[in-house]
């Protein structure tokens, strides 16, 4: 387990799992807000010195990471490409943590490792070095490294193109869905994949497939998750980031193999529908996704061989436009 301890890189610091074999995800540490950004209900952000100025912020992401994917999708769907710059780390993660490379250089400082960005923000930082990172180029610090907060603030702090993925009337319900899918689905695939005991693995898989069965039912007669399903929201962003990776990596590498997403008619149609929503496909890089997962977790795939399948096509007809609802259209 690799992490920073008091600003020093350590490769022996802590295990992924707790004593009962359950995957233990750390709390994100940097939790500042862009001024004007809206938080989940009950967590009002204070006003901050981070004004939502165009050209001031940078997103460090990995195309492989579902949490970083949320931020990249919101940036793209809201047309913030010119306001917030973005760069990628190398998809494989080895002993040194997330790395930059010739293919994926650090455009701001020319660093070799993402951890150097964390140490700049806090020379005494103790914790994991994760993506996404929302970096303030003016103050040269990390504003926030928690995707559920970054996605909300990118939607609400900037004007963007007029698309709203966190509309006021639906915020409570979107929060509930984002919460409801987090533990069994978004984090559930990791709980299965990194489980240290058979019991922890089976419990995670049971929760995961119970939740997938539930949402398969919900999506039988609505196009999207929130409200009456007629508009794409942050709840869909959060769900899609897991579903699009599922059949290629979670099913095999994380042993979530009771069923594949393409075997669920509604979840599969929904995944293709979102993939085909203008702007989303360009945020998905399946080569980097598979290289990252199969190539980075030596404890569960020591030979780092990347599975070749499945042969599924996210661009084939999804059949969901018969349900009420339109993809987001910039105003
Ligand atoms: N709670 C964080 C989790 C981010 C996270 O765990 N990202 C993974 C990549 S998928 C990571 O960077 N892991 C590196 C590590 O744990 O050392 C969020 O939602 O932003």
* Positive/negative CA dihedral, 6, 9, 11, 17: positive
Strand order through the sheet with 57-61: 84-88, 57-61, 133-136, 141-144
41 within 8 A of 171, measured Cβ to Cβ: yes
In this prediction, residues 307-313 reach a mean pLDDT of: 95
In this prediction, residues 284-298 reach a mean pLDDT of: 96
Q: Residue 297: phi, psi to the nearest 5?
A: -105, 80
The per-residue pLDDT for range 8-63, each reduced to its tens digit, is 999 986 556 777 888 888 888 999 999 888 888 766 666 788 999 999 999 999 99
Q: Which of 175, 1, 145 is nearest to 59 (CA)?
A: 145
* Catalytic-residue membership of 256: no
Enter the pTM of the model.
0.96
In this prediction, residues 52-76 reach a mean pLDDT of: 98
Residue of minimum CA distance from atom 6 in ligand 1: 130
CATH architecture of 168-296: Up-down Bundle (1.20)
Which residue among 16, 62, 65, 125 is the active-site one?
65
Residue of minimum CA distance from atom 5 in ligand 1: 130
The per-residue pLDDT for range 99-109, each reduced to its tens digit, is 999 999 999 99
In this prediction, residues 80-103 reach a mean pLDDT of: 97
DSSP summary character for residue 81: T
The per-residue pLDDT for range 197-233, each reduced to its tens digit, is 999 999 999 999 999 999 999 999 999 999 989 999 9
């Amino acid at each position: 387990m690799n992490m920073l301890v008091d600003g020093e890189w350590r490769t022996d610091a802590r295990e992924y799992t707790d004593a009962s074999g359950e995957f233990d995800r750390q709390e994100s540490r940097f939790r500042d807000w862009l001024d004007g950004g809206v938080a989940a209900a009950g967590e009002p952000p204070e006003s901050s010195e981070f004004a939502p100025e165009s050209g001031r912020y940078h997103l460090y992401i990995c195309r492989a990471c579902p949490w970083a994917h949320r931020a990249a999708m919101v940036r793209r769907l809201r047309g913030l490409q010119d306001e917030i710059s973005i760069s990628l780390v190398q998809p494989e993660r080895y002993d040194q943590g997330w790395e930059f490379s010739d293919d994926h250089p650090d455009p701001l400082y020319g660093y070799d490792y993402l951890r150097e960005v964390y140490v700049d923000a806090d020379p005494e930082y103790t914790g994991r070095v994760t993506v996404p990172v929302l970096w303030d180029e003016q103050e040269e610090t990390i504003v926030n490294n928690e995707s559920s907060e970054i996605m909300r603030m990118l939607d609400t702090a900037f004007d963007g193109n007029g698309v709203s993925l966190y509309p006021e009337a639906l915020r409570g319900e979107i929060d509930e869905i984002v919460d409801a899918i987090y533990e069994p689905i978004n984090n559930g695939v990791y709980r299965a994949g990194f489980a240290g005991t058979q019991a922890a693995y089976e419990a995670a898989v049971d929760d995961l497939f119970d939740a997938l069965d539930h949402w398969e039912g919900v999506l039988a007669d609505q196009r999207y998750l929130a409200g009456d399903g007629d508009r794409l929201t942050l709840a869909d962003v959060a769900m899609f980031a897991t579903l699009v990776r599922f059949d290629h990596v979670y099913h095999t590498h994380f042993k979530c193999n009771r069923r594949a997403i393409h075997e669920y008619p509604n979840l599969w149609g929904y995944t293709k529908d979102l993939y085909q929503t203008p702007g989303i496909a360009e945020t998905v890089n399946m080569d980097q996704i598979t290289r990252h997962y199969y190539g980075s977790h030596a404890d569960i795939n020591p030979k780092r061989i990347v599975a070749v399948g499945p042969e599924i096509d996210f661009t084939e007809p999804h059949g969901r436009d018969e349900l009420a609802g339109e993809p987001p259209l910039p105003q």
